[in-house]
Amino acid sequence: MSLLITGVAGFIGSHVAAKALTQGFSVYGVDDLSSGTLKNVPDGVLFSKMQVRDITPEILLENEVEGILHIAGQNGAAGSKKYPVLDAEINVLQTISLHAAAEKAGITKFVYASSVAVYGEGKGAPPFKEDDATEPLSPYGVGKLSAEKYGHFFQKRNPESLYVALRLHNVYGPGQDIHSYDQGIVSIFLGQAINLGHIEVKGRPDRSRDLTYINDCTEAFMRVLAVKVPGSYLFNVCTGSAVSVREIVDLIVEWRPGTEVTWGQQDVFDPITTVGDPSKIRAALGWAPQVDFYEGLRRTLETQD
């Protein structure tokens, strides 16, 4: 199968592309390089610099695309709060544009990188299941949820097609941008420790997050590509376990002694606990996380030495 991977120069997109190549897929990769870098694009990817909105049916046909992994987007709640209109343009409108192009080109397999941000605090106690209430606390979460629903809409309009939305939970690992302080809780703290010698925590230390190692994330994308039955699917990609913000910070300080830490006020739009339930994807696709946070952080820190 020939795949289009958007956001191929970014953290998740580049890792997914590399994994797809090892699985025998051919990859046509697109990225506007607004946040990703060309050096991230794996060898073997046919690359085009462009925005998602500029992908036409003709481009998809010329590159013989058979399936789409849409990973590109504005990444993070912080950026969306500053620029909500831009967030909607990138995460919602460009996603609709890509669905429309895929529909005209007759492409029947579309996988979308959604986010845990769609849950917000949810209703009731976590872990969140896919059919739990969605109460996003940021424009980013609202946009991701809207884009999910557009995917379901296009699939219903084309019932022989396959649409999968993966709600990714706080993906981290080697290769994440440690110079961006707007998204990725592990990379933010790690980057601050390395680049500034000072970690600034904006919020309560007892907040907790479900952290998913990048290799487990890429495996989830490969598993959904094997789905043969048309339909509309929604899966959490998570571990089902929570790690506190204080524990993340303490482990990084232990690795880099002398790092100063300051604690700021809690943002009312920042969830206290975000933990997902991975049982649905485990039952449907046999996917389960293989790397716990402590091993994943160890591997990540090793790449910084």
The full set of domain ranges for the chain reads 2-169+212-238+276-290
- Are 80 and 145 in contact by the 8 Å Cβ rule? The answer is no
Counting residues of the chain whose pLDDT is more than 90, the rounded percentage is 85
CATH class of the region 2-169+212-238+276-290 = alpha beta
Mean pLDDT, residues 5-29 taken together: 98
pTM of the predicted protein model: 0.95
- Across 253-276, b (16+ Cβ under 10 Å) vs e yields bebeeebebeeeeeeeebbebbbb
Tens of pLDDT along 69-122?
A: 999 998 877 778 888 999 999 999 999 999 999 999 999 999 999 999 999 987
On the question of pLDDT at 124 being above 80, the answer is: no
Report the sign of the C-alpha dihedral through residues 167, 31, 63, 151, in that order.
positive
202 vs 198: CA distance, rounded Å? 13
What tokens does 156 get? 């219903």
pLDDT of residue 77: 76
* Confidence at 305, pLDDT banded by 50, 70, 90: low
Tens of pLDDT along 246-281?
A: 999 999 999 999 999 999 887 777 888 899 999 999
Q: In a 10 Å sphere around its CB, with 0-12 CB exposed, 13-18 middle and 19+ buried, how is residue 230 labelled?
A: middle
- Active-site positions read 140
293-302 and 245-255 are packed helices; what angle lies between their axes, rounded to 10 degrees? 40
CB atoms < 10 A from the CB of 123, how many? 11
Residue of 30 and 271 predicted with greater confidence:
30
- Are 113 and 164 in contact by the 8 Å Cβ rule? The answer is no
243-244 vs 208-209, strand pairing mode: antiparallel
CB atoms < 10 A from the CB of 295, how many? 11
208 vs 6: CA distance, rounded Å? 30
* Confidence at 172, pLDDT banded by 50, 70, 90: very high
The DSSP annotation for 158-175 comes to STTSEEEEEEE--EE-TT
- Are 6 and 70 in contact by the 8 Å Cβ rule? The answer is yes
Mean pLDDT, residues 237-250 taken together: 96
Least confident of 61-75, 154-168, 170-184: 170-184
